[in-house]
Chains A and B, each alone.
Chain A
Amino acid sequence: GQNIDQPTEMTATEGAIVQINCTYQTSGFNGLFWYQQHAGEAPTFLSYNVLDGLEEKGRFSSFLSRSKGYSYLLLKELQMKDSASYLCASALSGGYNKLIFGAGTRLAVHP
């Protein structure tokens, strides 16, 4: 089966660091995407991990452990505009594009 779990909601303070976790159980795993989605808008690409380890991109970093079926997105120096839903998505092999999304984590950043 295909299953992706992430927390439903998180809150954090402006300027702080927050870690959003994602666990997955997907057959044919071919990498892990993170997308940001503001309310009523399209998801926008944040990161992609296929190898174990940490990928850093400015204030955002993403980590993957394939053996544990685990990923996290780390947001540093939080800003109010980071309030959004963060979607974890597993890419599947099979010769075509298919992403299996989690339900998303709604992050609220407070002053």
Chain B
Amino acid sequence: DAGVTQSPTHLIKTRGQQVTLRCSPISGHKSVSWYQQVLGQGPQFIFQYYEKEERGRGNFPDRFSARQFPNYSSELNVNALLLGDSALYLCASNGLAGGRVSTDTQYFGPGTRLTVL
């Protein structure tokens, strides 16, 4: 079975632009979470979606938004890009207990490396 897939792999944008990142969860998984990982740091939680509804939001500005589609894939949008948004953006999916319990193991995709110039 395919794991979590993300596109694109790499992206270069300039300050002020907007970006959309995409994620497809493992088949059968209904929950998708997004994390930002700055170089040398651990991932930071941005959003969790389950059954197309936002279930959790981290401490990120409103420039960050996301949505989940009926097929459980997800998009992360970032507007008005700043230099500090340069990071690896990770998507994780999980399937047990419908995403309601934080002890469900999350499986990560390969990430999208975003560089803001």
Residues of A bordering B, CB below 8 Å: 4, 30-31, 33, 35, 41-45, 48, 50, 87, 89, 91-104
B90 with A43: CB separation less than 8 A = yes
Q: Which residue of B lies closest to A95 (CB)?
A: B100
What's the Cα separation between A3 and B92 when bound, in Å?
Answer: 22
A97 with B109: CB separation less than 8 A = no
B42 with A97: CB separation less than 8 A = no
B110 with A97: CB separation less than 8 A = no
Q: Taking the nearest CB of chain A, how far is it from the CB of B103, in angstroms? A: 5
Q: Which parts of B8-63 form the interface with A (CB within 8 Å)? A: 31, 33, 35, 40-45, 48, 50, 55-56, 58
A41 with B102: CB separation less than 8 A = no
User: A96-B55, A97-B94, A98-B56 given as contacts; is B45 within 8 A of A48 (CB)?
Assistant: no
A31 with B103: CB separation less than 8 A = yes
Q: Mark B86-107, 1 if CB is under 8 A from A, else 0.
A: 0000101010000111111111
